[in-house]
Structure 1
Amino acid sequence: MIFPTEKDVGLRELLAFYAEAGVDEALTDEPIDRFAAFEARTSAASEARVAEHTRVGQANTARDQKPGRQRAEAPSVAPAAPVAVPDEAQVALARQQAAASATLDELREHMAAFEGCNLKFTAKSLVFADGNPHADIMLVGEAPGRDEDMEGLPFVGRSGQLLDRILAAIGLDRQSVYIANVIPWRPPGNRTPTPQETEICRPFIERQIELANPKVLVTLGGPSAKTLLNTTEGVMRLRGNWKTHVTASGLSIPAMPTLHPAYLLRNPAHKKFAWRDFLEVKARLRSLADS
């Protein structure tokens, strides 16, 4: 029998660390800095615009300096210094693309083509949604994890398995709910999304909720609740109390904030709180069906 050496154990731990951090597939011999590539493209575009403005400005100046010709007006195009695209511009673009989506399929296409969020360049997949888009209940988490990124579906890892058991306890399954995330791309190493990344992605999830038009919205975890309910309160204060999500068109949807399944895996004693929250959801769905 061959026993693993100390060196072998260290290698396994290192590979496990890389997998947890998101480094789970070697595509090239050397690492690729996606952020540097994105910045290089932005810088190249700015330099091209500056070069074109300079060329036009020099041509106009030469024309105006010809003998016998008086300068009638300032050059129509003046040289401009390169300016970094602000996050506000990406938020505005996301809002424009979201508003232009008349269906969920169109929204998915616009999100797949959107390049205003850096998370897209480090993720493997666009994790759009799972389940039935015509369901009465929609659940929204924060962002995909490693398993979700690999499969392109939300809540398919351990937290997803727990969510499936919770849904089954109130008589629901994946075909009777609609599931999505505020952030559709996995943050590297499962880190917390930045406020800028959340704001850039916000128009997409808000439009997704509006198009799905569920009767009840369930926010899973604090970040989802804070984003969709426009609040700064913690999830332990919010959970168990009905709130309202208001869409861009003014549609009001009852929302139940509850704990994220990943949090429940780390804190099993708090499953009783989530159970109470989902019983409230079950009762609300029943009352809506009877009305």
Structure 2
Amino acid sequence: MPLDEIALEELGLAPRWVRKGMPAAQAAVPNDGRAADAVPEVAGSVASVAAVPRPAAQSGSAASDSFSDRAATPAQRQADVPPPVAQRVAAQAAEPDAFAQKPAPQAPSARAAAEPMQAGPEEPPPLTEDDFAWFDAAPEPSLPHDQAPARAPRDDVATLDWDALAERVASCTRCRLCEKRTNTVFGVGDRAAEWMLIGEAPGENEDRLGEPFVGQAGKLLDNMLRSLSLARGENVYIANVIKCRPPGNRNPEPDEVARCEPYLQRQVALVKPKIIVALGRFAAQSLLKTEGSIASLRGRVHEYEGVPVIVSYHPAYLLRSLHDKSKAWADLCLARDTWRAAGGGER
């Protein structure tokens, strides 16, 4: 063999079957008819290489290393291995079971290679909002009827009798007027009366005594009733739109009227009067749900809860305006005629 080819072999640049001094018989291609003929030639080549004298400068060359590494001890080989490989070797020595050699994958058979490849698993569908439903708050468990939370009591004023209604008014806290009152003013008179007189709200004397229309205004009202052959407590029931005194005798606010009106509605339903006389502008506006002046509301028959209503002046106003007493008398006469037309006085 030429010297240049020998040098290539020494440098590891020759064909694979002579690299690192491998025996030619191992490097020969299997199942090749020319492999047997190549063995003697390869053996001769290896012998030639061994017989060629090497210069001293090549003692550390790749050729000498290729033959000397087989004679080196395991410790020397490990020292020459790069750091990552050396670490793996040390770990393998410490835990040999963890690095047990796994069987090499077998090549597919001819039959398997001939068969068409089966399709792999389909890609999962994209996530939707339903896939995250478990993030939602769990529904609250339904409680048995005996453990269900108690509901707010319903407004049953329309079902109360006289005693229950009076007790409800006495303990009422529906609006802020309860904070400054001394007494609630429920009403007085005949609970089966045909005449019902309704004022606006208690004054100072009414709040102190717990009775509507007392003092000088009350005395004037008694005189007006006497002119009609009526008397307080005899076929007459007297009440107010508001059951508590507004501070400073101010006019009640709309929300205060709305919260107190169910009591008056129940009183009218229990009394079942045949005529109602609204005394004063505020009482008339509250009953008739209007903002009309008392002058525009007088002289006509109105209606509240199915009962005829006559509008007149408040007795306290008549004490300051004596010239309107004649008008008040005309209002009372209209109320008497309306009462008689409704069958009043026949009981």
Q: TM-score w.r.t. structure 2 length?
A: 0.54
Task: Quote the Cα distance in structure 1 between the aligned partners of 2:195 and 2:212.
Answer: 15
The equivalent of 1:59 in structure 2 is none
Counting only pairs closer than 5 Å after superposition, residues 42-53 of structure 1 correspond to structure 2 as none
**Which of 204, 228, 241 matches 2:263?**
204
> Equivalents in 1 of 2:182, 2:313: separation in Å?
27
Correspondence for 2:328: 274
Structure 2 counterpart of 1:27: none
Asked if 2 retains the 8 angstrom alpha-carbon contact of 1:206 and 1:228, the reply is no
Shift of 1:114: 2.2
Q: C-alpha offsets along residues 6-65 of structure 1, whole Å, 9 cap, x if unaligned? A: xxxxxxxxxxxxxxxxxxxxxxxxxxxxxxxxxxxxxxxxxxxxxxxxxxxxxxxxxxxx
Q: Residue 194 of structure 2 contacts residue 344 of structure 2 at CA under 8 Å; is this kept in 1?
A: no
Query: What does residue range 1-291 of structure 1 map to in structure 2 within 5 Å?
Result: 73-74=137-138, 76=140, 96-101=155-160, 103-176=161-234, 177-246=236-305, 252-287=306-341, 288-289=343-344
Deviations 1:95-138 (A, max 9, x none): 8142231x222211122222111111201101000111111000
- Pair member with larger Rg: 2
Give me the whole-angstrom Cα distance separating, in 1, the residues matched to 2:319 and 2:263.
29
2: CA distance, partners of 1:235 / 1:74: 61
Q: Is the 8 A contact 1:125 1:150 kept in 2?
A: yes
Which amino acid letter does the alignment assign opposite residue 132 of structure 1? D
1:227 deviation in Å? 1.3
Q: Distance in 2 between matches of 1:108 and 1:214?
A: 19
Aligned-residue CA RMSD (Å): 2.2
Looking at both structures, which has the greater relative contact order when contacts are Cα pairs under 8 Å and sequence separation is at least 6? Answer: 1
SS of the aligned residue for 1:166 comes to helix
Please state how far the C-alpha of 1:72 moved relative to its aligned partner. 6.3
Do the aligned partners of 2:301 and 2:309 also contact (CA within 8 Å) in 1?
yes
CA positional deviation for 1:231:
1.9
Secondary structure of 1:211's counterpart equals helix
> Following the alignment from structure 1 to structure 2, what is the Cα–Cα distance between the partners of residues 285 and 157?
28
- What residue identity is the alignment partner of 2:245? R
SS at 2:233 equivalent: helix
Measured in 1, the distance between the counterparts of 2:205 and 2:211 equals: 8
The aligned length equals 201
In 2, are the aligned partners of 1:164 and 1:174 still within 8 Å (CA)? yes
Distance in 2 between residues matched to 1:74 and 1:208, nearest whole Å: 50
2: CA distance, partners of 1:172 / 1:290: 11
Q: Quick one: distance in 1 between partners of 2:243 and 2:345?
A: 35
Counterpart CA distance in 1 for 2:167 and 2:287 is 22
Identity %: 41
Cα deviation for residue 262 of structure 1 reads 1.0
Is the 1:141–1:182 contact (alpha carbons within 8 Å) kept by the matching residues of 2? Answer: yes
Per-residue CA deviation, residues 130-150 of structure 1 (Å, 9 max, x unaligned), is 111111000000000111111
How much does 1:196 deviate?
A: 1.4
The 1-side partners of 2:139 and 2:180 are apart by 43
Cα distance in 1 for partners of 2:299, 2:191 equals 25
Q: 1:245, 1:215 → 2: CA distance?
A: 11
Q: Can you list the C-alpha shifts for 1:177-215, whole angstroms capped at 9, x where unaligned?
A: 100000000111211111111111111111211111101
Unaligned 5+ runs, structure 1: 1-69, 78-91, 247-251
Separation in structure 2 between the aligned mates of residue 199 and residue 290 of structure 1, nearest angstrom? 33
Which letter does structure 2 place at the counterpart of 1:194? Answer: E
**C-alpha separation in 1, matches of 2:345 and 2:244:** 38
The answer to whether the 8 Å contact 2:212/2:239 transfers is: yes
Partner Cα separation in structure 2 for residue 284 and residue 228 of structure 1: 18
Q: Secondary structure at the match of 1:232?
A: coil
Assess if the C-alpha contact under 8 Å between 1:242 and 1:256 holds in 2. yes
